[in-house]
């Protein structure tokens, strides 16, 4: 059966006012949007362009999921640069 979207897709019938501990609150698009907005205001990378930059200029381009994943990996693994340099060096000597 093919999934379909209703006219209510992407909206919240209770406008994000879920009771405490509600399982639906985790999936609420209104709350998700608010959370991303707060993260963007704090300056963290949320994976989408910030349209309303304070200086009136368009925000930065959204990083692709792959680029964001690579950036996180490099930040967590400082030995990555040396390992990558060694790999490229061996590739140059072989070819």
Q: Do residues 53 and 74 share a domain?
A: no
What does the pLDDT read at residue 60?
57
On whether both 41 and 70 belong to a single domain, the answer is: no
Q: Which residue has the higher pLDDT, 7 or 77?
A: 77
Query: What percent of the chain stands above pLDDT 70?
Result: 69
Q: Are residues 57 and 92 in the same domain?
A: no
Q: Domain range spanning residue 68?
A: 63-95
What angle do helix axes 80-94 and 65-76 make, rounded to 10 degrees?
A: 110
3-state secondary structure of 79: coil
pLDDT at 38 over 80: yes
- The answer on 77 and 57 residing in a single domain is no
Rounded Cα distance, 39 and 32, in Å? 11
Average per-residue pLDDT for the chain: 76
One domain for residues 39 and 18: yes
75 and 38 inside one domain: no
User: Across the chain, how many H-helices and E-strands are there?
Assistant: 3, 0
User: Does residue 3 fall inside a structural domain?
Assistant: no
Residue with tokens 């792959």: 66
Residue 2 resides in a domain: no
39, 46 contact by CB (below 8 A) = yes
Residue 70 — very low, low, confident or very high, per pLDDT cuts 50/70/90? confident
Same domain, 55 and 67: no
Residues 16 and 54 occupy one common structural domain: yes
């Amino acid at each position: 059966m093919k999934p379909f979207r209703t006219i209510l897709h992407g909206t919240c019938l209770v406008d994000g006012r879920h009771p405490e501990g509600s399982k639906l609150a985790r999936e609420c698009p209104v709350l998700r949007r608010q959370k991303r907005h707060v993260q963007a205001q704090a300056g963290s990378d949320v994976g989408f362009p910030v349209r309303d930059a304070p200086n009136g200029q368009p925000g930065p381009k959204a990083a692709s999921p792959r680029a964001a994943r690579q950036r996180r990996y490099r930040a967590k693994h400082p030995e990555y640069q040396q390992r990558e340099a060694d790999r490229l060096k061996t590739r140059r000597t072989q070819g």
